Amino acid sequence: MAIPDYQSIMLPLLKFLGDKKEHYLRDAIDYLSKIFGLTDEEYKELLPSGQQAVFDNRVGWARTYLKKAGLVESTKRAYFKITNRGLKVLKDNPKEINIKFLEQFPEFIEFRSIRRKKATKPNEKEILINQTPEETIESAYQGMKEGLAAELLQNIKRSSPAFFEKLVLDLLVKMGYGGTRKDAGQAIGRSGDGGIDGIIKEDRLGLDILYIQAKRWENPVGRPEIQKFAGALQGKRAKKGIFITTSSFTKEAEDYVSRIDSKIVLIDGNLLTQFMIDQNVGVSQISSYEIKRIDMDYFTEQ
């Protein structure tokens, strides 16, 4: 089954705490993963940031919302238990616990008031209800990143061949190839066709080299172009190559690469811009945000 949203986790989580004992968050996560029948892949699936598992995040926020409604309470870092109010809720045997259900408690209404005021459009309200705060932030971040990538690609396609050459060199050096920027510039020769043909060090010591070709194209790169590149590798007695394009690769080209002895990495326009964003090439940071949580160790009296 699909990973349940955090609202669907609330009631099973509260039932798990119904024994009145103190529980460790990781134990709750493991127990609930079995209740929902998650596969190993679903259990390990990460948020887009790669910093936390999706299911862990949703269980964590189910716990937070139950805490804000006064149904559970933290005892120490990563440990919590059910409250008398929570026990009363379980005794009433609700069919489900969700945002609407929790709004009967004044503390929860106060907690939600700020976020609800900001959600002025119906679709925004729906997103806030169905996603955890981290998921909402990361969804917005991914949307901004996709928009930035599209804008980057447009600028790359409008640039000159010489600038495209510089861009590729800057990116490869930032990714750890070619040694210094000066070394990389000397290692690559101009092809004169709006692309790059040449070699670059695979590492700073120059233990191996990579053969590079880049095409600032609009049309997809097909198998014939990749075959020519593979032939060029053989002519240079090289085993590794990178083919970069501002467009895309056909299925036939990708299939061909997967079946030959030479190791050829295909980088299309989308992947190129993602690498540029990750390596801060052609982009600059305008703001950053820190996400913090309560340090229960600080509030533990000795």
Write the pLDDT tens digit of every residue in 166-196.
898 889 888 888 766 666 655 554 444 444 5
Q: Which CATH number is 46's domain given?
A: 1.10.10
Full-model pTM:
0.59
Is residue 109 in a domain?
Answer: yes
Contact 282, 148 (CB under 8 A): no
Residue 121 is predicted with a pLDDT of 47
The structural domain count of the chain equals 2
Contact 7, 99 (CB under 8 A): yes
What would the mean pLDDT of 103-112 be, rounded to a whole number? 86
- The helix (run of H) or strand (run of E) holding residue 264 is strand 263-267
Residue 287 is predicted with a pLDDT of 72
Spatial distance between the Cα atoms of 107 and 86, rounded to a whole number of angstroms: 14
Spatial distance between the Cα atoms of 74 and 295, rounded to a whole number of angstroms: 11
- 18 & 119 share domain: yes
Higher pLDDT, 42 or 261: 42
How many other β-carbons are positioned within 10 Å of the β-carbon of residue 164? Answer: 20
- 212 & 112 share domain: no
Q: Give, to the nearest 10 degrees, the angle between helix 161-174 and helix 269-278.
A: 50
- 121 & 178 share domain: no
Spatial distance between the Cα atoms of 211 and 294, rounded to a whole number of angstroms: 51
Residue 201's pLDDT band (cuts 50, 70, 90)? confident
The boundaries of the domain holding residue 175 are: 156-278
- 102 & 176 share domain: no
Of 279, 27, 33, whose CA–CA distance to 172 is shortest?
Answer: 279
- 83 & 175 share domain: no
- 36 & 83 share domain: yes
Spatial distance between the Cα atoms of 203 and 158, rounded to a whole number of angstroms: 31
- 71 & 123 share domain: yes
Pairing of β 209-215 and β 240-245: parallel
- 86 & 193 share domain: no
Residue 118 is predicted with a pLDDT of 47
Q: Could you say which of 91, 114, 131 is where a domain stops? A: 131
Residue 22's pLDDT band (cuts 50, 70, 90)? very high
Residue 119's pLDDT band (cuts 50, 70, 90)? very low
Residue 165 is predicted with a pLDDT of 80
- 206 & 168 share domain: yes
Higher pLDDT, 46 or 48: 46
Of 6, 112, 17, whose CA–CA distance to 69 is shortest?
Answer: 112
- 114 & 162 share domain: no
Is residue 215 in a domain?
Answer: yes
Is residue 211 in a domain?
Answer: yes
Give whichever of 208-217, 228-237, 260-269 has the largest mean pLDDT. 260-269
Is residue 99 in a domain?
Answer: yes
- 179 & 273 share domain: yes
- The helix (run of H) or strand (run of E) holding residue 201 is strand 195-201
- 68 & 183 share domain: no
